[in-house]
């Protein structure tokens, strides 16, 4: 599985004894047509999270937040299960995982507006009935934030 960083922002990080809130916006891009394996995905996510924590000189990860697109192919329940398994024995053991689902949004070039398709396979604009191939959101697999100390 290929995983690469597309975006990287740290909006807020302060040095103190209280937990840090790190906004990461890590996007994990998985090639389409590949069968998603949540354990392997979670292992890669955790690897990135630990790297962030170490950058902040943190020794614990308390909370992770991920954004998962509706058509990303990731099963949230499987991801939760994988999280419990892969965090064992790491600095993220006992941490909580929040999964935020991102719904699919397409863009209609004719109407120049975004729409939420009724069908998750055929993206038809509700106004002009033209089919759209431009997906604005819904494919996300992102580590969006971390809480460390």
Segment contacting Zn ion by CB under 5 A, of 22-30, 96-104, 126-134, 138-146: 126-134
The mark string for 27-66 relative to Zn ion (x by CB under 5 A, - otherwise) is ----------------------------------------
Q: Hey, which bits of the chain come out as E strands?
A: 20-27, 61-69, 96-102, 105-108, 113-115, 134-137, 141-148
Segment contacting Zn ion by CB under 5 A, of 12-20, 53-61, 91-99, 119-127: 119-127
- Looking at beta carbons only, is 98 or 113 nearer to Zn ion? 113
The verdict on 125 binding Zn ion (CB under 5 A) reads: yes
Residues 6+ positions from 129 with CB-CB distance below 8 Å: none
- Looking at beta carbons only, is 99 or 128 nearer to Zn ion? 128
**What's the gap between Cα 106 and its chain centre?**
19
Write out 27-53 in H/E/C secondary structure.
EECCCCCCCCCHHHHHHHHHHHHHHHH
The mark string for 70-109 relative to Zn ion (x by CB under 5 A, - otherwise) is --------------------------------------x-
Token pair of 10 as six digits: 């740290």
Residue tagged 């999964």 (tokens): 99
Where do contacts with Zn ion occur on this chain (CB under 5 A)?
Answer: 108, 110-111, 125, 127-128
């Amino acid at each position: 599985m290929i995983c690469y960083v597309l975006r990287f922002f740290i909006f807020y990080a302060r040095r103190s004894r209280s937990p840090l809130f790190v906004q990461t916006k890590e996007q994990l891009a998985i090639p389409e047509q590949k069968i998603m394996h949540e354990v392997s995905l979670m292992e890669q996510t955790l690897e990135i999270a630990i790297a962030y924590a170490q950058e902040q000189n943190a020794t614990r990860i308390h909370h992770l937040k991920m954004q998962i697109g509706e058509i990303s192919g990731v099963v949230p329940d499987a991801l939760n299960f994988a999280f419990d398994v892969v965090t064992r024995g790491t600095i993220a053991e006992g941490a909580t995982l929040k999964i935020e689902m991102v719904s699919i949004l397409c863009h209609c070039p004719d109407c120049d507006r975004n729409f939420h398709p009724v069908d998750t396979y055929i993206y038809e604009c509700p106004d002009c009935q033209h089919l759209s191939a431009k997906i604005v959101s819904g494919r996300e697999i992102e580590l969006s934030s971390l809480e460390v100390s």
